[in-house]
Every structure is written in structure tokens, then in C-alpha cells.
């Protein structure tokens, strides 16, 4: 989507970023990618191309698995988060993540959203209540759940659960939101609600979204990066990628000739 706003700052710079799974299998090969601030960057590519792997380096979530390692640099506001000294709790507050399947915690709607607030901030009860409401409002869920805040988060519909996860992520006031195929497990109507929400969140957060849904990437993102076999083949304004891509491989993928 085009905007009249001036050129954004770069929030994340990946430089010569490589990634290795346990056993040495290399999944990413020295990729460079700039993520502009308060814009939506879509990452597309066939299964196994490394797009989710790339995304997962941005908040080091791969560190949960032994034997996985990233090489190169991921600069968040100029600071290399791959540095072993990086405080991961702070990093994950700054860089939130939404997964493919909604992952509400087995607790009430209220507690799901209050959880990161209690984890990251020292707040009084009143303040927590205010910020839970604000986060649920921000995730376009408040009107649907305001009378059932004590109900289990797992009792909500799939689309509501995903918005609850978004509310939980934004409650911590992150700077970046990573979304790994956030609508692939929910129905088309709920998908459009999430897309509207993502477009609104763009005003406040830098968003990187991995998606298999090409129309979704075309509809909501400002920039699109196309990954293939662990390498970035092409990155550019979404409008250009979907009307006149420069690389033959991109053209073949987005027109469904392979993948």
C-alpha cells in the first residue's frame, strides 16, 4: 500500500544473515534485508524457503532449541540482537510474535492479556485493568469480550483467539510485531478482520508478516520480500512485486507456476 508519508526509518537491518539447524543444515544464506519502521513487510516464498526461519531470528525465539544458530547480524535500532549478551526477555518484549495457530494461555481472557503486563512491568491493579482494556480495544476484541473477561481464552472462536494473542502481544507495548502466517488457521471472515486490524496496528508498530496467502501480502503490505531456497530473490514495494516483478523466479512463484 502506498502512503504519502515520507521515507521511513529502518527498524531492523539483517546483514549477511545465515541460519543453521541442528546437525549443520543451513537454512539461510547470507541474506540482507531492511525492515522499515511502522510499515508492513510481507515475507513470501514456497514451503521450506526459510521465511519463517528468517522471521524467528528477529526475536531469537530459535534460542529455545538447542543446536540452532544464526550468523551475521540482526540490527534492531542499530544494536545487534544476535550478540550473546542480548537480554532475551527485553528483546521479546520489544519484538512480539504471533503464531500460525492461536496460542492463548489456559487462563481467562483478562489474564491472557494481563500476563505480559505482570511479567514486564510493575503496575497496580487499576493500571493493569486499563491497559488490558486498551490492548483488547487495540486488537478489535473488546466489544466482543468485555462481558466475559473471566471466561477461558480457549473458549473463544479461532479468529477471536488470534486477536486475543495480538492483544497479549501489543499489551507489552512492543516496537515490532512478527506474524508467522497469522490467518492460515482461521476462516475468511475472521481473516479479513485480522487484516483490518494489522493495517490499523501499522500506525503504531513495525510489522513483519510471513504469509502463504499471496493476495493477503498484496492487500496489506507496503514491501514484499520473496525467499527461495534460503535466499532472498527479490525485495521491493509490494505494488511492484505483484504487478511487475524484476526477477523471473518471483514472477513464476507469484503466478503459481511453482511452489
Partner 1 sequence: MRDRFNFEIESLKQRLLDLATSADRALVRALRAVDGSAPADDARSVIASDAAIDAEEVAIEEECLKLMALYQPVAGDLRLIVTILKVNGEIERVADMASNIAARAIDMAEAHVPPEARFDFAPMLERAHKMLRGALDAFVCHRSDLARKIILEDDAVDALNAAHYANARDRLLKDPALANYTLDCVTVSHCIERIADIATNICEDVVYLEEGQIVRHQKRIQA
Binding site for partner 1 (CB under 8 A): 214-215, 218, 240-245, 250-251, 254-257
Q: Which is nearer to partner 1, 189 or 244 (CB)?
A: 244
Q: Which is nearer to partner 1, 36 or 236 (CB)?
A: 236
Identify which of 214, 161, 165, 149 has the alpha carbon closest to the alpha carbon of residue 190.
161
Q: Which is nearer to partner 1, 125 or 258 (CB)?
A: 258
- Residue 92 Cβ, how far from partner 1 at the closest point, in Å? 35
Q: Is the CB of residue 5 less than 8 Å from the CB of residue 36?
A: no
- Residue 225 Cβ, how far from partner 1 at the closest point, in Å? 16
Q: Which is nearer to partner 1, 43 or 241 (CB)?
A: 241
- Residue 11 Cβ, how far from partner 1 at the closest point, in Å? 27
Q: Is the CB of residue 42 less than 8 Å from the CB of residue 224?
A: yes
- Residue 208 Cβ, how far from partner 1 at the closest point, in Å? 21
- Percentages helix, strand, coil for the chain (3-state, rounded to 5) are 40, 25, 35
- Residue 254 Cβ, how far from partner 1 at the closest point, in Å? 5
- Residue 214 Cβ, how far from partner 1 at the closest point, in Å? 7
φ, ψ for residue 48 (rounded to 5)? 80, 10
Residue 155 burial (CB count, 10 A): 12
Q: Which is nearer to partner 1, 30 or 247 (CB)?
A: 247
Q: Is the CB of residue 204 less than 8 Å from the CB of residue 139?
A: no
Q: Which is nearer to partner 1, 6 or 243 (CB)?
A: 243
Angle formed by the axes of helices 125-138 and 158-171, to 10°? Answer: 130
Beta bridge partners of 43: 210, 225
| Cα 204 from Cα 174, distance rounded (Å) | 9
Amino acid at each position: 500500500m502506498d502512503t504519502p508519508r515520507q521515507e521511513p526509518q529502518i527498524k531492523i537491518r539483517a546483514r549477511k544473515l545465515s541460519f543453521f539447524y541442528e546437525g549443520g543444515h543451513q537454512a539461510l544464506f547470507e541474506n540482507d534485508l531492511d525492515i522499515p519502521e511502522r510499515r508492513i513487510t510481507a515475507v513470501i516464498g514456497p514451503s521450506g524457503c526459510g521465511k519463517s526461519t528468517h522471521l524467528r531470528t528477529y526475536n531469537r525465539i530459535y534460542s529455545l532449541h538447542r543446536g540452532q544458530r544464526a550468523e551475521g547480524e540482526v540490527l534492531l535500532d542499530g544494536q545487534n540482537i544476535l550478540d550473546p549478551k542480548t537480554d532475551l526477555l527485553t528483546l521479546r518484549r520489544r519484538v512480539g510474535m504471533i503464531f500460525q495457530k492461536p496460542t492463548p494461555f489456559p487462563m481467562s481472557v483478562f489474564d491472557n492479556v494481563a500476563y505480559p503486563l505482570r511479567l514486564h512491568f510493575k503496575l497496580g491493579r487499576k493500571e493493569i485493568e486499563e491497559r488490558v482494556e486498551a490492548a483488547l480495544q487495540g486488537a478489535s476484541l473488546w466489544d466482543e469480550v468485555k462481558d466475559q473477561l473471566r471466561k477461558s481464552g480457549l473458549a473463544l472462536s479461532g479468529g477471536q483467539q488470534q486477536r486475543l494473542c495480538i492483544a497479549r502481544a501489543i499489551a507489552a507495548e512492543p516496537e515490532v510485531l512478527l506474524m508467522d502466517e497469522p490467518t492460515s488457521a482461521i476462516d475468511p471472515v475472521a481473516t479479513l478482520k485480522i487484516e483490518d486490524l494489522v493495517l490499523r496496528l501499522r500506525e503504531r508498530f513495525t510489522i513483519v508478516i510471513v504469509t502463504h496467502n499471496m493476495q493477503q501480502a498484496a492487500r496489506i503490505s507496503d514491501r514484499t520480500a520473496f525467499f527461495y531456497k534460503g535466499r532472498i530473490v527479490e525485495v521491493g514495494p509490494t505494488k511492484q512485486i505483484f504487478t511487475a516483478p524484476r526477477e523471473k523466479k518471483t514472477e513464476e512463484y507469484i503466478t503459481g507456476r511453482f511452489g
